[in-house]
Amino acid sequence: MSAKTRILGLLIFPVLIMTACHTAQKFVESGDYDGAIEFCVRKLRGKSKKKTEYVQGLELAFRKAQSRDLAIAKHLVDDGRPENWERINAIHKKMGARQRLIAPLTPLVAQDGYRAQFDFLDVAALERESRTNAAEYLYNRAKELLAQAENGDKQAARDAYSHLQDLERKYYNRYKDTEALKRDARELGTTYVLFQVKNQSGKVLPREFFDQLLSIGAADLNSDWKAYYFNEQQGAQYDYRIAFNVRQVDISPERIHERRYVDEKEIQDGWEYVLDAKGNVLKDSLGNDVKTPRKVFIRASVVEVYQTKAAQLGGMVAIYNGYNDALLDSRNLATEIRFEHYASTFTGDRRALSEASRKRIGNAPAPFPRDEDMLVQAADRLKPNLREELRKSKAIF
């Protein structure tokens, strides 16, 4: 290492120390005491010679953090509002984590002999008290909400369920009768929906048609707070009734169209010799016969049979209030199924056939699908659109 490099290093080293120390000070001055604590702990952990500025910085940041949190917690307790206990408990947990972070470093003595003083509190006792009070608040609030839910307020039931989950997740895995209350909240907060298919088309529809539409799938529609049913249970009360009213069922006649056309093409068919003025075969400079491709037109007569049949299905999705049958929302849905088949034969030169004609040559006329089968296909094609309408409906809460 050169003398210049050593001198540069000696100049930079004090600057780095001052910068690090200044960073800890900035944390404290900005009120980020825990940021200052974490910074100083990183600088002190594992060091045999502990720098005074970090020891003092940690001591100051800890004192300010504890003082601030105790003041906030006291203010919240004095406020006397039960809902404050959740925040108070969060403060106590934070204080406990802070003390656990610093405890392994104590006793903390700087390299110059300075000994830091940390006034650790019995945070565990404080946390137990606030945890008990927070849990009691959530429990009582859930019961209040469930009382509202008994009068038909589903959102209150869902909020009660959320409070009970918070209680179990944050404070106690098992607390009084929370499991039973959660079951009540789930029952009261769930929206029960009955889906039905009704034939208003005036035409007879096959059983398979209804089965296809009813197989729209509860698994695809059910959510946390919505349960779909496809068979009405005797005596059951549903919050919503959804009906797909089939109104349009049109099946076209079986049509057969015959078309005759000719494919033509110019192709090379051998060679022709070029003759000179005297009628002799013309020779090139090497003495070879001169010849040119012979072009001919070829034809193929095609008879094409085109079969077609279509089924159109249309209806309305209607959403009703399950208690008074009031219409809440409606949407029209429709789809079409088409059967198309080509069969062709030809006479003439196969080489004249176009690519499209080649694909259809040799096909035999196909049996037309049954009306019932086309309707079932139409129902199957309509299902994704029907499912999407139900998913995005704003009428179902």
* DSSP label of 368: P
Model confidence band, residue 22 (pLDDT cutoffs 50, 70, 90)? low
Same domain, 87 and 145: no
Q: Where is the domain boundary, 121, 152, 176?
A: 121
Pair 364, 343: CB distance under 8 Å = yes
Strands 240-251 and 255-273: unpaired
| 154 and 113 assigned to the same domain | no
Six-digit token string for 378: 């139409």
In the three-class reduction of DSSP (H, G, I as helix; E, B as strand; rest coil), residue 43 is classed as helix
Do residue 146 and residue 56 come from a single domain? no
Mean pLDDT across 231-246: 93
Distances (CA, A) of 1 to 5, 13, 14, 123: 6, 16, 19, 54
Q: Which one of 121, 144, 165 terminates a domain?
A: 121
Check pLDDT > 70 for residue 20: no
Evaluate whether residue 13 is within a structural domain.
no
Residue 110 lies in a domain: yes
Q: Are residues 109 and 184 in the same domain?
A: no
Mean pLDDT estimate for the chain: 90
**Dist. CA 122–CA 135, nearest whole Å:** 21
pLDDT at 274 over 80: no
**pLDDT, tens digit, for every residue of 37-84?**
999 999 999 988 999 999 999 999 999 999 999 999 999 999 999 999
pLDDT class of 277 with cuts at 50, 70, 90? confident
Answer whether residue 64 is part of any domain.
Answer: yes
At residue 285, the pLDDT reads 78
Judged by phi (left if over 0) then psi (alpha if -120 to 50, else beta), residue 39 lies in alpha
How large a percentage of the chain has pLDDT more than 70?
94
Q: Are residues 25 and 114 in the same domain?
A: yes
Residues 99-139: pLDDT tens digits?
Answer: 999 999 999 999 999 999 999 999 999 999 999 999 999 99
Domain C-terminal end among 121, 146, 161: 121
Within a domain: 114: yes
Do 25 and 60 fall into the same domain? yes
Question: Cβ(227)–Cβ(192) under 8 Å?
Answer: yes
- Based on the domain organization, do 113 and 166 belong to the same domain? no
Asked whether residue 5 carries a pLDDT value surpassing 50, the answer given is: no
- What total number of domains does the chain contain? 2
Q: Is the pLDDT of residue 279 over 50?
A: yes
Structural domain contains residue 261? no
Between the alpha carbon of residue 224 and those of residues 190, 214, 221, 250, 292, the distances in Å are: 8, 21, 10, 39, 81
Q: Which domain holds residue 95?
A: 19-121
pLDDT beyond 70 at 10: no
Q: In the predicted model, what is the mean pLDDT of residues 23-44?
A: 88
Q: Which of 39-43, 169-173, 274-278 has the lowest mean pLDDT?
A: 274-278
Can you tell me the distance from the alpha carbon of 88 to that of 136, in angstroms, rounded to the nearest whole number?
13
Instruction: Clarify whether residues 110 and 42 are in a common domain.
Output: yes
Q: Per-residue pLDDT tens for 336-395?
A: 999 999 999 999 989 999 998 888 898 889 999 999 999 999 999 999 999 999 988 889
Query: 212 CB contacts (<8 Å, ≥6 apart)?
Result: 376, 379, 380, 383
Output the pLDDT for position 9: 42
